[in-house]
Amino acid sequence: TFRQITRREHVCVHFPLFVCQDAGKETCVYPLPEPQDLFLASEMKFEDFQRDLRKQRKDLNACSAETEKVCNVSSEEHLQPFKDKMEEFLTRVNAKCIAVFLCIQIGLRNKTHIFLELSMFFSVKPKAGEKEVSPNTFFTVWHEFSSNFKELWKRENRCLLQERQAREKATYSVKPKHASGIVSI
């Protein structure tokens, strides 16, 4: 009987043959992102990164204010080396943080833009009530696809491996020895 197969199954059957050079071998590596990685990506929120950046900036400002407060109420004899160490630390951290914060903010804007372009390319529509496609919406679909694809891919790769081993076994034959130790030809 003829069984209809889904597109996913069709791709899974033909993908290893045309794309994976190690198809049917133990060294063949799963070609898509791991489902667990896609699940973690679906939990990501760009707003969380921005909120964390603002919190770190706020914490750094609070540290600076606290240092200044301690320096103002401390007597001159107890001020050193605390003041010099903290000034050195805050100067170093401020310089690094400003550069890092700017890079991350620019990177987030670019990543957000790239993500939105990617979701438009794959025609992913936002859920009802959302104005943009969220990473959760996008990567949940990919997680489901990757999970199913991985199962089918493993099964197909196992079948290819068994076929290859059967062919190798058929071409390799050992001739039995006679009791005298002479091999008959």
Task: For residue range 31-75, list pLDDT tens digits in order.
Answer: 778 888 888 888 877 778 778 878 888 998 898 999 899 888 888
For the chain, the average pLDDT equals 79
| pTM greater than 0.85 | no
Same domain, 125 and 57: yes
In a domain, 38, yes or no: yes
The set of residues, in sequence order, having a beta carbon less than 8 Å from that of 30 and lying 6+ positions away, is 150, 153, 154
pLDDT band at 1 (very low <50, low <70, confident <90, very high): very low
Q: Given this model, what pLDDT does residue 144 score?
A: 87
Same domain, 128 and 51: yes
- Alpha-carbon distance of 86 to 82, in angstroms, equals 6
3-state SS assignment for residue 183:
strand
Give the closest residue to 145 by CA, choosing from 20, 42, 8: 8
The Cα-based distances of 5 to 18, 32, 77, 145, 163 in angstroms read 19, 21, 83, 15, 21
Decide if pLDDT at 181 tops 70: no
Same domain, 122 and 105: yes
In a domain, 179, yes or no: no
In a domain, 114, yes or no: yes
Q: Which residue has the tokens 């005298």?
A: 180
Runs of H (alpha helix) within the chain: 7-18, 35-42, 46-73, 76-79, 82-121, 135-171
Same domain, 51 and 118: yes
Same domain, 31 and 65: no
By residue range, what is the domain housing residue 82? Answer: 46-133
> How is residue 177 annotated by DSSP?
B
Same domain, 6 and 61: no
Check residues 70 and 172 and name the one with the higher pLDDT. Answer: 70
Give the closest residue to 22 by CA, choosing from 147, 160, 169, 155: 160
Same domain, 84 and 111: yes
Give the count of beta carbons closer than 10 Å to the beta carbon of residue 51: 11
Q: Given this model, what pLDDT does residue 62 score?
A: 92
Decide if pLDDT at 100 tops 80: no
In a domain, 177, yes or no: no
pLDDT band at 13 (very low <50, low <70, confident <90, very high): low
Same domain, 129 and 152: no
Check residues 24 and 145 and name the one with the higher pLDDT. Answer: 145
Rounded percentage of the chain residues whose pLDDT exceeds 70: 81
- Alpha-carbon distance of 47 to 53, in angstroms, equals 10
Same domain, 128 and 53: yes
In a domain, 175, yes or no: no
Across-strand partners of 183?
177
Same domain, 51 and 122: yes
pLDDT band at 174 (very low <50, low <70, confident <90, very high): low
As a whole number, mean pLDDT of residues 146-167 equals 84
- Give phi and psi for 177, each to the nearest 5: -85, 150
